[in-house]
């Protein structure tokens, strides 16, 4: 993993467990403070900055990831290509690129901003709450995936029809359809009308 100021500050490889801080924001996405990651997700949840990435292959198929079973929040569910939280002061674009590399072992050949969406989604399994101001990104992936098994249980590239079938059969993250619908204009611009998104 490349060492960036954010990863250097928050690296726990020296055996200490440093609390991960999230950036709290107001309804306009302006920073108002910080909170420890788990406490920000305790009900009713505190509004914080997050990001979601949607990556596509050259055929216009969406990369889904199944979250690792060991994750404390929404384990084992399917979701968008990558999602997470910027560290306080870290640009959402930089955080999206960093986490895509950390989780999937790739750097997208293209990564573009796709707007923001604000939502409040409780996770019925864990009782935690996603109260997020989410920065959306779309991009292209053209290299082989090397997922981190501590983050990702499985991956799949899907067409819109395959997504519909899988969404009806498998469990997806509570936020998945909210962020996908918000990103659709940028997704269509990236993939073209023939991809069907």
**Which residues are known to be catalytic?**
83, 132
150 backbone φψ class: left, alpha, beta (φ>0; ψ -120 to 50): alpha
The answer to whether residues 21 and 32 touch, using CB atoms and an 8 Å cutoff, is no
The answer to whether residues 103 and 151 touch, using CB atoms and an 8 Å cutoff, is yes
Which residues are CB-contacts of 146 (< 8 A; sequence separation ≥ 6)? 104, 105, 106
Which residues are CB-contacts of 52 (< 8 A; sequence separation ≥ 6)? 80, 82, 83, 134, 135, 136, 137, 175, 179, 183
SS (H, E, C) 32-76: EEEEEHHHHCCCCCCCEEEEEEEEECCCCCEEEEEECCCCCCCCC
Note the helical H segments in the chain: 5-10, 37-40, 92-104, 160-169, 176-191
The answer to whether residues 27 and 47 touch, using CB atoms and an 8 Å cutoff, is yes
């Amino acid at each position: 993993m490349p060492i960036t100021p954010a990863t250097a500050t928050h690296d726990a490889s020296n055996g200490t467990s440093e609390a991960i801080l999230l950036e709290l924001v107001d309804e306009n996405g302006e920073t108002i403070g910080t909170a420890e990651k788990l406490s920000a997700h305790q009900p009713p949840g505190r509004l914080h900055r997050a990001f979601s990435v949607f990556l596509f292959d050259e055929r216009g198929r969406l990369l889904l990831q199944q979250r690792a079973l060991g994750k404390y929040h929404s384990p084992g569910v399917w979701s968008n290509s990558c999602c997470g939280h910027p560290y306080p002061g870290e640009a959402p674009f930089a955080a999206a690129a960093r986490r895509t590399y950390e989780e999937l072992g790739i750097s997208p050949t293209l990564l573009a901003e796709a707007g923001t969406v604000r939502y409040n989604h409780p996770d019925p399994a864990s009782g935690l709450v996603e109260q997020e101001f989410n920065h959306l990104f779309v991009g292209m992936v053209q290299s082989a995936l090397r997922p981190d098994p501590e983050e990702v249980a499985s991956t799949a590239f899907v067409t819109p029809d395959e997504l519909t079938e899988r969404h009806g059969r498998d469990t997806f993250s509570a936020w998945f359809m909210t962020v996908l619908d918000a990103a659709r204009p940028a997704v269509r611009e990236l993939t073209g009308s023939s991809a069907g998104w």
